[in-house]
Structure 1
């Protein structure tokens, strides 16, 4: 499959025609594919105008004969205004799609998709009737909106699943089905038996309610981190599942912490500390804030801990990394590996991270320049109540952006003289582009990100891999389906060769096409 074929497939899998979904589609492309403020302004104005006029044409064609049809001029004015409002309403969730494409986490993908699904029925009358922002949507409108979501998701599965020569026909079939839904949606908007609460501005209230959870995003993430930490406590049971001769270093994920429990500082399982080790080689306590440091910094801290631990014990070392810890372990193995490290397990592995970009704050140009400032403003507002807030410019996020070629190309590739395995939760499938293209064993498990170690079968798989027992691929059909369903709602990837700061003009791009790993 060529670069252009797969990029076309990305585009066709993301072409919803219902106006609220199409608006969302427009915004994701604008947020990723602009490299100056002027270009962003022109593209945004262009999609607002073109989407409004296109919607006016479709509504004009779908207007039911039972009601007098407004003039095309009236429909155009109505839809240009609605298109402007809809793009502004959906802008925060389009930005969430960009974050999801950078960190490749299901949490952000869910925070993008769920509000869109909730908002869609309330926006369906927009551009069709005056005062569309007042009153409740009819049962028919809610039903057609949900069916539209299902059709678009199934269309994405179809587009991703057919051979290349059938990609365009598959997209056309999806478009025909979506066009028929347009007709039913317009009819349901124009011909309701009656509109309940017709004088109440319901849509602004719904938008406010859907926006509210964003202000608790940091607290919800902190709660998830606490749940992951409780699940990760099970790593201490690892020796129960096999005769492990190595010293195992467990690397916790983002927002994890370690309080310096002496019982967890000695082999066979020790904790990795984001702050490093003391004079005796023991891991230092660290707080969630320490996990926000850059990936290269954490990898060098790991290198020191591995060397000191091996010198102290004389035993080979195995790494077990969870989420961010898996990224650190993989980065370390590629660049800083000590010869004593013979195996590694990557749990809840963050795959295909760094699919988008935005430049540093001092830059006036660069791909995603306006998007970067939108994200900084959003997360400053979201984190105003949080004791530890996420920051689009924190070193960890910045390293994902700056080292994108590594995270897109290397994460599922083998490393010479190291046995590698990735254990992936089913939930993360919605944040990963279809076709993993892995060249190491992959085990897909029903579970949530960061919660896998509480499953005994996962601990047994980790122990088998570390002790050298063969662990074959264990893939799930539903993982592949979820990848393809969610593909329609992910932000488009920025090609590596397009972004000069990546210096990747001659590198493969495994986020865009099936590409073999470089020889080890």
Structure 2
């Protein structure tokens, strides 16, 4: 065995080069929004497997390509890990042959990729709908699973027994260093991006050394006969079966948080009729006080003959965004005809998407101002084809998601569906939702008020060309803050509302960039018909002229 310092140098070089190479390639193709992923190319397991899976789930365009890519990354990751473990092996213990280590790591790599596959798919969902909720549903299981998988590929029987405190610590520390590394590679000057990624790779190498020592040197493993890892994996999967109930509870909370919109006239002399559009899974039960000016609810079922909003149920919000926008156009026209007052739109979450689509694609002479609360930004960053299509980017991912959500939705009264019209409309019109959510509209004063929690679902840099206010709060809950109501009223009445950005928002964007799925370039997917269009989900680019 070579001297330990020589092996350490080789180890650090082998972990620095992949991270720097990935960063270099991303910089070369001007794919800067994915730079935060680069440090994970040589991370300790299972973070490196999670890195592999997100790229594979997004970047395959046929079943044949998927069946080559997934086994390919499993094999490459297993052999690479075997080499790193061999270099990191402590001199105090006899090292297995490279053949033995390779065999162990090939098996472990297959297991790790399989275990993490549902959570990598959840990262794809988060990139599709750009909601923090799905990002957290991906991160929490990853953080829970990572310490229990640390001995994999290093020692036999790694799935039995408890990890040592050292292994737990090194696992969590690598999560932190990868998150900080994502911020670092994004924030340094352009010429330093690749060296910064290489430096984070060096940190990965040091953690590989400490992790292998912690796995090999302990004399005794607690609960050494108990198959702890399979139990933890099963427990981690269990919350998926309560996913719809948990999400429904959040939707009910968000719906209750819309009640303060009726107080909007208290914060200013509006002289407008305001239409408020609730978000996904919201409802309206036909309360008379919400059907008359100055603040009127938008209905996802349309209006009656008098132009009053019809009651609607949460399932009605699952319709396509163009369908909702056409209903909004009808409601605006009827309300303007009835009142003669200019109309202001206030949309929350999905409602903000409807507002922005309506303003971009339809005539709106009655509307002169709009407020977008908890705005869903950079949605449609990934793709999977409809079930009747036999090829296309993300085809295997689409079928995995259909299977997952069918299983999750068993027994649920209202379940999410990857093929519901709302989701499909995000995918079909992805160039618009990726590029123009924070762009101006001629003749309409726009403002976006964003909760701090949503920063974890958005690629680094908002690149906004309309006023943006970042507020400490949760998605769909901002109207509970009187300060936000005052800003909404000020904007509608024409008072200036200055931009207000928070440093925490920028940091969270950078940190979360390490754990998001990489976006699929618009020009790569023929289904989007987006050749020659800018791609603001990949890089900083200006809005198209209005």
The alignment's TM-score, normalised by the length of structure 2, stands at 0.94
* Residues 292-441 of structure 1 mapped to structure 2, 5 A cutoff: 292-441=318-467
| Shift in alpha-carbon separation, 1:439–1:389, aligned structure 2, 3 A | same
**Aligned equivalents of 1:477 and 1:70: distance in 2?**
49
Query: Do the aligned partners of 1:424 and 1:442 also contact (CA within 8 Å) in 2?
Result: yes
Q: CA deviation at 1:12?
A: 2.1
SS in 2 for 1:15: helix
1:82 to 95, 98, 108: 108
Equivalent residue number for residue 446 of structure 1: 472
The residue aligned with 1:289 is 315
Q: Give deviations 1:385-420, integer Å, cap 9, x for gaps.
A: 211100000000000110000000010000000000
2:487 matched to 1:457? no
Distance 2:294 2:33 in 1: 46
Which whole-Å CA distance do the structure 1 matches of 2:444 and 2:33 have between them?
33
Q: Deviations over 1:236-265 (max 9, x none)?
A: 011111110110000000000000000110
SS at match of 2:446: strand
Contact 1:464–1:471 under 8 Å retained in 2: yes
Equivalent residue number for residue 69 of structure 1 = 95
Q: Give the secondary-structure state (helix, strand or coil) at the position aligned to 1:384.
A: coil
Deviation for aligned residue 1:5: 5.3
Distance, in Å, in 2 between the alignment partners of 1:13 and 1:302 is 45
Greater CA drift, 192-201 or 98-107: 192-201
The worse-fitting range, judged by mean Cα deviation, of 90-99 and 190-199 is 190-199
- Show the counterpart of 1:188: 214
Offset at residue 15 of structure 1 (A) = 3.1
Report the Cα distance in structure 2 between the residues aligned to 1:8 and 1:400, rounded to whole angstroms: 21
Question: Counterparts of 2:49 and 2:218 in 1: how far apart (Å)?
Answer: 25
2:133 counterpart (84, 107, 130): 107
Matched with 1:214 is: 240
What is the distance in 2 between the residues matched to 1:413 and 1:404? 15
User: Is the counterpart of residue 147 in structure 1 residue 178 in structure 2?
Assistant: no
- The answer as to whether partners of 2:39 and 2:200 remain within 8 angstroms in 1 is no
SS at match of 1:515: coil
Distance 2:332 2:33 in 1: 41
d(CA) in 2 for partners of 1:221 and 1:332?
Answer: 27
Does the residue aligned with 1:346 lie in a helix, a strand or coil? strand
Shift of 1:513: 1.1
C-alpha separation in 2, matches of 1:42 and 1:448: 41
Partner of 1:482: 508
Considering only aligned residues, what root-mean-square deviation do their CA atoms show, in Å? 1.1
Unaligned runs of 5+ in 2: 1-26
1:168 is aligned, of 171, 194, 198, to 194
**Offset from partner CA, 1:79-121 (integer Å, 9 cap, x none):** 0000001110000000000000000000000000111011000
Q: 1:34 aligns with which of 43, 56, 60?
A: 60
- Deviation of the 1:426 alpha carbon: 0.5
- From 254, 268, 272, give the equivalent of 2:298: 272
Instruction: Within 5 Å, give how 1:477-516 maps onto structure 2.
Output: 477-516=503-542
Partner of residue 6, structure 2: none
CA distance in 2, matches of 1:59, 1:136: 20
Paired residues of 2:34 and 2:538 also in contact (CA < 8 A): no
Question: Quick one: structure 1 residues 149 and 278, their matched pair in 2 at CA, closer, same or farther if it must change by over 3 Å?
Answer: same
Instruction: Give CA deviations for 1:192-216 in whole Å, capped at 9, x if unaligned.
Output: 2421100000001101111111111
Distance in 2 between the 1:264 and 1:144 partners?
Answer: 55
**Offset of 1:4 from its aligned partner?**
2.4
Q: Name the CA distance, whole Å, in 2 between partners of 1:257 and 1:8.
A: 37
Count of equivalent residues? 520
Match of 2:22 in 1: none
SS at match of 1:391: coil
What TM-score, normalized to structure 1? 0.99
